[in-house]
A and B are shown apart, each in its own frame.
Chain A
Amino acid sequence: MTASPAKVLLDVKEASRSFGGLKALSEVSLHINKGELIGLIGPNGAGKTTLFNLLTGVYPPSSGTIILNDQSVGGMKPYKINRMGAARTFQNIRLFTAMTVLDNVKIAYHQHAKHSMFTSMLRLPKHFKGEDEITRQAMEMLKIFNLADQAHEYAGNMSYGNQRRLEIARALAAGPKLLLLDEPAAGMNPNETRDLMNLIAWIRKEFDLTILLIEHDMSLVMGVCDRIYVLDRGMLIANGTPVEIRNNPKVIEAYLGQEA
């Protein structure tokens, strides 16, 4: 790791979230520098997905601040946060299953498109230019994920692994600076997982991305992440390089201890 001062892309300060009496997250602070690949781990119910939901605006933090790219996004509407550069995938796949693979990706591009319903209705040249451009970009994206030959299939008919990859493609189509991946390898076999990790490493470079990754597969997180944050029962209990995390007694107790 270089020691040069890096630009902070995401800065979370003492973010908490309660649901009724249950404190799902309490005073979590973390930061991610531009270009980093960060892992977020923790046992079931630790609050990992809750943190993702705060970062993407599914619900606002009960207290604390979230700064994305120098702008406060805590409590902002999800579609605005998405347009400001944070895109995500879901733990349980949430594609638009009755739409085609191509349309799933196009819809994300559309939100940044210039042409409107008005120009489309009147079939102005701008509509065709806009549509063609979006279709071209979406096909490019599908090619990267080896999904181009299935562009016109319904998303729901694809294999599980391909659906997972399509979710990442759809998230990337929004042109994010920060990509949030919620257990992208869940349910994949070791070979698929390895391919996926190579792909993630590649898109990180290609799209100049900063990535926050939730994952259960410890070997995988340890292998690819620059730094790792560990959550347990809503609290941040450790952060550091994979080696530091592996040797942290608190982490071993909370998480790895189960396997020892």
Chain B
Amino acid sequence: MAMEYFIQQLINGISVGSIYALIALGYTMVYGIIKLINFAHGDVFMVGSFIGLYSARNLANAGLPPVLVLLLSLVISMTVSALLGISIERLAYKPLRKASRIAVLITAIGVSFLLEYTGVAIVGPQAQGFPEILNKKQYTLFGSIQVDSNQIMILGTTIVLMIILQFIVHRTKIGKAMRAVSYDMEAARLMGINVDRTISATFAIGSALAAAAGVIFGMTYNSVDPMMGVLPGLKAFVAAVLGGIGSIPGALVGGLLLGTVETEVSSLGYSSWRDGVAFAVLILILIFKPSGLFGKNVREKV
């Protein structure tokens, strides 16, 4: 019985963790390439969620079948958010490429507020209900373990996106360029790599993943508002640090681990401690293993 209970919580944890992982990937990829903690990333997740909401509402009204509504909403939301990510980088960060890191960091916080309050101005501060795209079905496995269709959808979407990401990073020209730029931007530039375009691509991919997380989040919690990106954004940042910032597998494992820890804490009856525990994890990892689980102990490159 205890085992089943544990597995049940693990399944719930993986669902939450997948969302953190998808957001964490954007943090980690951007950090890997320009050494910036992009604090506006959580708000790109929020924008992605809203785009998903409006797409889903309109597509469902147009009478499309649910699976198609889900897929199209994902694609639209990811595309728009990718463009948003590219624009943010071009307008806000690129002019500061040679400025100190703290200047860019503060700019990122500014962009974060800009997105949040533009959101409030456009859609208002109230939370809106996310349309139920797929009818929730409960499945029972091995006697008493409950899985619902939404959790399967989350896991499926996350796995597919991970495979695509792995493929892009390891098998394509732009992926190789991204790795090269993250190792040594100057040398990459001198080897004929268009660094600006590579950075844009990184922001596009990271933002698209955050948007996918936004749509999934909306479908899971049924409620979106302009401030919804703050807490998941911060927690995904914790997940990225936990896994080792700059490491793609690290972001994935960090996200899943953090999601699991959170659900276990809640299931033990301490749900009001959930957020506190997430940030306690951050403090502990920074004290005992600042490079994270998968982080390389990199010397500062000169």
Q: A residues near B, CB below 8 A? A: 56-58, 77-79, 82-83, 87-88, 90, 94-99, 103, 106-108, 110-113, 115-117, 120-121, 170-171, 174
Contacts and interface: CB of A to CB of B under 8 A. Distances in A.
Given A79-B195, A107-B193, A94 B173 contact: no
B173 A88 contact: no
Contacts of B122: none
B184 interface: yes
Given A94-B186, A121-B167, A113 B173 contact: yes
Interface residues of B, number: 24
Given A96-B184, A98-B183, A117-B168, A79 B173 contact: no
B73 to A, nearest CB: 21
Nearest to A176: B192
A232 to B, nearest CB: 26
A94 B187 contact: yes
Interface string B161-199: 000100110011110110110011011111111110000
Given A96-B187, A120-B172, 9 more contacts: A58-B190, A78-B189, A79-B189, A94-B187, A96-B179, A108-B191, A111-B177, A112-B192, A117-B173
Contact of A99 (B172, B180, B189): B180
B191 A82 contact: yes
A115 B168 CA distance: 14
Nearest to A88: B190
B192 A83 contact: yes
A107 B183 contact: no
B190 A96 contact: no
A79 B186 contact: no
Given A83-B192, A111-B192, A170-B191, A103 B184 contact: no
18 contacts: A78-B189, A79-B192, A79-B195, A94-B184, A94-B186, A96-B183, A96-B188, A99-B183, A103-B176, A107-B176, A107-B177, A111-B191, A117-B172, A117-B174, A120-B171, A121-B167, A170-B191, A171-B191
A28 B156 CA distance: 62
B194 A79 contact: yes
A116 to B, nearest CB: 7
A121 B189 CA distance: 24
Nearest to B298: A98
